[in-house]
Amino acid sequence: MRRPITAAVVVGLVLGIGAGVAVWAVWNRIHTPYKGYESTEQFVDIPAGTATAAIGRRLVEAGIVRDGFTFRAALWWTRRSQALQAGEYRFDRPLAAVDVIDRLARGDVYARRITFPEGLTIAEMARLYEAREFGSATSFVEAGRDASLIRDLDPLATDLEGYLFPDTYAMPRGTPARRLVALMVERFRAAYSNDLRRRAEEQALTTRQVVTLASLVEKETGRPEERPLVAAVYRNRLKIGMGLQADPTVVYALQKAGRYNGNIRRQDLAIDSPYNTYRYAGLPPGPIAAPGKASLDAALVHAPVSYLYFVSRNDGSHVFATTLAEHNRNVRKFQILYFRR
HEC assignment per residue over 229-244: HHHHHHHHHHHHCCCC
Three-state DSSP state, 175: coil
Asked if residue 276 lies in contact with residue 244, where contact means CB atoms within 8 angstroms, the answer is no
d(CA 232, CA 211): 15
> Is the pLDDT assigned to residue 161 strictly greater than 90?
yes
Lowest-confidence segment of 67-76, 244-253, 328-337 by average pLDDT: 328-337
Instruction: Look up residue 247 and give its amino acid.
Output: D
Q: What's the pTM value of the predicted model, to 2 decimals?
A: 0.80
| Best CA proximity match to 162, nearest among 250, 246, 287 | 287
Asked if residue 75 lies in contact with residue 81, where contact means CB atoms within 8 angstroms, the answer is yes
> Is the pLDDT assigned to residue 4 strictly greater than 60?
no
Name the residue ranges covered by the structural domains of the chain: 31-106, 111-191, 193-307
Task: Give pLDDT tens digits for 72-81.
Answer: 999 999 999 8
Higher confidence at residue 179 or residue 175? 179
CATH level 2 (architecture), domain 31-106:
2-Layer Sandwich (3.30)
Helix, strand, coil distribution of the chain in percent, nearest 5: 50, 10, 40
HEC assignment per residue over 81-126: CCCCCCEEEEECCCECHHHHHHHHHHCCCCEEEEECCCCCCHHHHH
d(CA 166, CA 221): 16
**Given pLDDT bands bounded at 50, 70 and 90, which one contains residue 96?**
very high
Task: Give pLDDT tens digits for 185-194.
Answer: 999 999 999 9
Sort strands 111-115 and 168-172 into parallel, antiparallel or unpaired. Answer: antiparallel
**Neighbour-count burial of 247, counting CB atoms closer than 10 A to its CB (0-12 exposed, 13-18 middle, 19+ buried):** middle
